[in-house]
A and B are shown apart, each in its own frame.
Chain A
Amino acid sequence: AQSVAQPEDQVNVAEGNPLTVKCTYSVSGNPYLFWYVQYPNRGLQFLLKYITGDNLVKGSYGFEAEFNKSQTSFHLKKPSALVSDSALYFCAVRDPRRGGNKLTFGTGTQLKVEL
């Protein structure tokens, strides 16, 4: 069975500082990995994905993530955080062999960026 772990319920960062939101996964075979962001009372917005190729993936709003197969991790990063980045972030994994839309989500990490 596939699973995702987001070990931090909340991450606090000062504006202008780099941020990291951690994600590790477990899936047999080669995973498809995703990050989504949720603003209050809104749906999930797609940020970025890793399917294959370059381990460093760049996405929306200046975010990037690094796929590390040996550590089974897919941490989300941004070089300089903004207050407007404050939101709930979800990491998700899909096993492409199991069907098109079965995403397994982590429990989410609340990012708070303070002035």
Chain B
Amino acid sequence: NAGVTQTPKFQVLKTGQSMTLQCAQDMNHEYMSWYRQDPGMGLRLIHYSVGAGITDQGEVPNGYNVSRSTTEDFPLRLLSAAPSQTSVYFCASFGTQNSGNTIYFGEGSWLTVV
């Protein structure tokens, strides 16, 4: 069982560069989301999706775009990276029918913007 898979695990970007963090899940979960983790702040919700074709903003959406063209994939795009986006990013998924009310997380993507 692959679960929630994120790539890349580590990335260094220059200010102004763009990149996409990939997230895929093989559990047929309808809900997917992206969080960022910063020291002393816990995890904060960036964007989420309740199904293919539907996305919405979370607590800290500025500077990030998402799309959900399939149930399995939920990429997070940084259009013009800023040092404030240096963080650890976690993708998560949840299924109302097969998740037991538990949200599952990927292994994380460590991003540094210089």
Contact = CB atoms under 8 A, between A and B. Distances in A.
B104 A46 contact: yes
A1 B45 CA distance: 14
Interface stretch (B14-22, B63-71, B88-96): B88-96
A42 B105 CA distance: 10
Given A42-B107, A43-B107, A107-B40, A101 B101 contact: no
Contacts of A107: 40-42
Contact of A101 (B31, B40, B107, B110): B31
Given A44-B105, A49-B102, A100 B94 contact: yes
Interface in B66-114: 90, 92-94, 96, 101-108, 110
Interface residues of A, number: 26
B72 to A, nearest CB: 15
A46 B101 CA distance: 11
Given A43-B90, A99-B50, A100-B30, A105 B42 contact: yes
Contacts of A94: 103
A96 B102 CA distance: 12
Given A90-B42, A106-B42, A107-B41, A101 B105 contact: no
Contacts of B48: 99, 101-102
B61 interface: no
Contacts of B42: 4, 90, 105-108
Contact of B45 (A4, A103, A108): A103
Contacts of A43: 90, 105-108
Pairs of residues from A and B, 10 with the lowest C-beta to C-beta distance, nearest first: A105-B42, A43-B107, A101-B31, A100-B31, A44-B105, A105-B43, A101-B94, A107-B42, A101-B33, A43-B108
Interface of A: 4, 9, 32, 34, 36, 41-46, 49, 51, 90, 92, 94, 96, 99-103, 105-108
18 contacts: A4-B42, A9-B40, A41-B110, A42-B107, A43-B90, A43-B108, A44-B105, A46-B102, A46-B103, A49-B101, A99-B50, A101-B31, A102-B45, A102-B48, A102-B58, A103-B43, A105-B35, A107-B42
